[in-house]
Structure 1
Amino acid sequence: MELRHLVTFKTIVEKGTFKKAADQLGYAQSSVTNHIKELEGELNQPLFDRLGKQVTLTTFGKQFFPYAIKIMDLYKEIIEKANRNDVPTGSLTIGASEALTSCRLPQILLEYKQMYPEVNLSIISIDNKNVTAELQQGNIDLALVLKKNNWETKDLQVEKIKQEQMVLITPLKDKQKCISNTVLYIERTCAYKSIFDDYIKDHYIEVEGSVDFGSIEPIKQCVMNGLGISMLPYFTVKKELENEQFNGKVVKDEQYGVSSFVTYHKDKWVSPAMESMISLIHTCSKEWD
């Protein structure tokens, strides 16, 4: 089975006719026809139904198509591995939760770009519940997320980076108002939303309604102004606590904790760019509060 035959097969599927595929590939139409005949002969199955000038995949052709793509991808991967000099190049797309994008990633990205300027980086903010789907669909190469301490999933390679300290933040005494026990959440799908709910229930905290936010910053502003309480990772409120802009109670019980994880699809080829990013994340995490 020759790679060029698979390329021809894929191009016919994409273009819809033998002629358009021949034009795209720079072959004579007879060469394209011969490629498919040889491939069909080797497989002992027809790949296309010829309906005039148009062609459609046979049932077997539809089954064979994803395997052809996989073979071509593997060939490309082998060539890249054989030719690479282990210096990270190319592109790398990282998905990250809002808190980590704001507070953890900037320093990592700065150091990475200084070390590997040839890598084109893309950062995508992802919803916590969509991490697996984003990786499975190939929209991102790896993800940096906050999840419960024991998080794992069968489809992903998961590496725990750091167990994070959670803090219950409340308004300063002179800012407390009649609605100071309004619960302030960051998105319902966030890992620590359910943790906060458990904490409230277990500690018999009386609440007076709730408000959901799409990011952490407005939550901090609301607590500063006496409009509610929240539970957030320490690294997101460190500056405000040091400046005494609101009160903070460290939550020491690990059952209310979250961790930072780096994760990627278990079948994903780890490129030099990706491998070096994962290594740098682990290195930088040693300096995290």
Structure 2
Amino acid sequence: MDAGDLKVFEAVARLGGMNRAAGELNTVQSNVTTRIRLLEDQLGTPLFHRHSRGVALTAAGQRLLPYAVRVRQLLEDARRAVEDDGVPRGPLTLGSLETTAGLRLPPILAGYAAACPEVDLVLRTNTSAGLIGEVLEHRLDGAFVSGPVNHPELAEQTVFHEELTLVTARTVRSIDDLARRGDPRIVVFRAGCTYRQMLENLLAGRGIVRVRQIEFGSLEGILGSVAAGVGVTLLPRGVVGPAWNGLVTLHDLPPAQAHVETVFIRRRDAYVSSALSAFLEHARPTMRHADAAE
């Protein structure tokens, strides 16, 4: 068993078929099938169940897969390290909460793009849970999420402190007024959003435990629905800009529930490219300001 065998095995496991793996590896299916059969013979156990739609991992294959993923990533990191001459260039894929992307990142990203024009920067938005998973799976170089995360495989640093506010239609006079209006709807991002969980906890603390939710994929959709009286939401105060004045009402929260930190996470064991290193250096003044505020 060598690194090449594990690379083929990982591709078959990830893509669910010999033919699909062959396409990604730029070879023919017979070569992939032979490599997998020889690996199984060497290990003395089947790694895949074969079926008409492709393959599925056996119990032994499931135990082997994490090691194959680590080997693939280590080889990729080794290639990137050799190619990296210290000048920030090439791909950099980051993740962010929708609210952070709209409120906090534009000046940082604009300054970074001007300073590092050879970097191909991609920013993806998702929930905190989704972003953490993508970083752990090596699909993102790093991400801005709600913290603290406290995961042993992740390095994290506080970047921003946000003040949260309950956002309702103009006709809602107070948070407690919601309880007198029956079971409210919450207008939120999809499951895995930290603000969504905090909103549910906030309402539960006031005896509102039966809530219906409406999910949106954009901040504008959430605020527009709240303004129309569809439901309520919980957001950083800064994202509710002047354009929404008179359309929604912002309700102050108790100090213990009003503050959340946004942290930048990356894998501890992943290679830090010159592109990522330059980004972190560019964002460092913001990080130092956040640390000083604690």
Distance 2:137 2:209 in 1: 43
CA separation of 1:127/1:198 partners in 2, compared to 1, >3 Å: closer, same or farther? closer
Residue number among 162, 172, 196 corresponding to 1:193 in the alignment: 196
CA separation of 1:283/1:239 partners in 2, compared to 1, >3 Å: closer, same or farther? farther
Distance 1:106 1:252 in 2: 30
Q: Give 1:263's aligned residue.
A: 265
Shift of 1:101: 2.4
Q: Deviations over 1:163-215 (max 9, x none)?
A: 21100112224999978943322223210111111111223459774423222
Distance 1:249 1:54 in 2: 60
Shift of 1:240: 4.2
CA contact (8 A) 2:8 2:36 kept: no
Distance 1:130 1:240 in 2: 30
**TM-score normalised by length of structure 2:** 0.66
CA contact (8 A) 1:157 1:264 kept: yes
* Mean Cα deviation higher: 197-206 or 112-121: 197-206
Give secondary structure in 2 for the equivalent of 1:227.
Answer: coil
Residue number among 215, 219, 235 corresponding to 1:216 in the alignment: 219
Give secondary structure in 1 for the equivalent of 2:200.
Answer: helix
Q: Give 2:129's aligned residue.
A: 129
Whether 1:76 aligns to 2:79 is yes
Distance 2:99 2:90 in 1: 27
CA separation of 1:208/1:194 partners in 2, compared to 1, >3 Å: closer, same or farther? closer
The CA RMSD measured in Å over matched residues stands at 4.2
Give secondary structure in 1 for the equivalent of 2:241.
Answer: helix
Gaps of 5+ in 1: 1-5, 17-23, 25-50
Q: Give 2:93's aligned residue.
A: 93
Q: Give 2:280's aligned residue.
A: 278
Give secondary structure in 1 for the equivalent of 2:124.
Answer: strand
Q: Give 1:251's aligned residue.
A: 253
Q: Give 1:29's aligned residue.
A: none
Larger Rg belongs to: 1
CA contact (8 A) 2:81 2:271 kept: no
Shift of 1:96: 1.6
Q: Give 1:56's aligned residue.
A: 38
Q: Give 1:159's aligned residue.
A: 157
CA separation of 1:279/1:249 partners in 2, compared to 1, >3 Å: closer, same or farther? farther
Distance 1:88 1:173 in 2: 52
Whether 1:112 aligns to 2:95 is no
Q: Give 1:172's aligned residue.
A: 170
Shift of 1:232: 0.9
CA separation of 1:226/1:255 partners in 2, compared to 1, >3 Å: closer, same or farther? closer
CA separation of 1:67/1:248 partners in 2, compared to 1, >3 Å: closer, same or farther? closer
Shift of 1:121: 0.8
Whether 1:235 aligns to 2:220 is no
Residue identity opposite 2:153 in structure 1 = D
CA contact (8 A) 2:88 2:275 kept: yes
What is the total number of aligned residue pairs between the two structures? 244
Give secondary structure in 2 for the equivalent of 1:117.
Answer: coil
**TM-score normalised by length of structure 1:** 0.67
Distance 2:7 2:103 in 1: 45
Q: Give 2:56's aligned residue.
A: none
CA separation of 1:98/1:7 partners in 2, compared to 1, >3 Å: closer, same or farther? same
Q: Give 2:103's aligned residue.
A: 103
Distance 1:116 1:229 in 2: 41
Give secondary structure in 2 for the equivalent of 1:221.
Answer: helix
Distance 2:226 2:71 in 1: 56
CA separation of 1:172/1:144 partners in 2, compared to 1, >3 Å: closer, same or farther? same
Distance 2:70 2:208 in 1: 56
* Mean Cα deviation higher: 151-160 or 243-252: 243-252
Q: Give 2:142's aligned residue.
A: 142
Give secondary structure in 2 for the equivalent of 1:280.
Answer: helix
Give secondary structure in 2 for the equivalent of 1:165.
Answer: strand
Residue identity opposite 2:273 in structure 1 = S
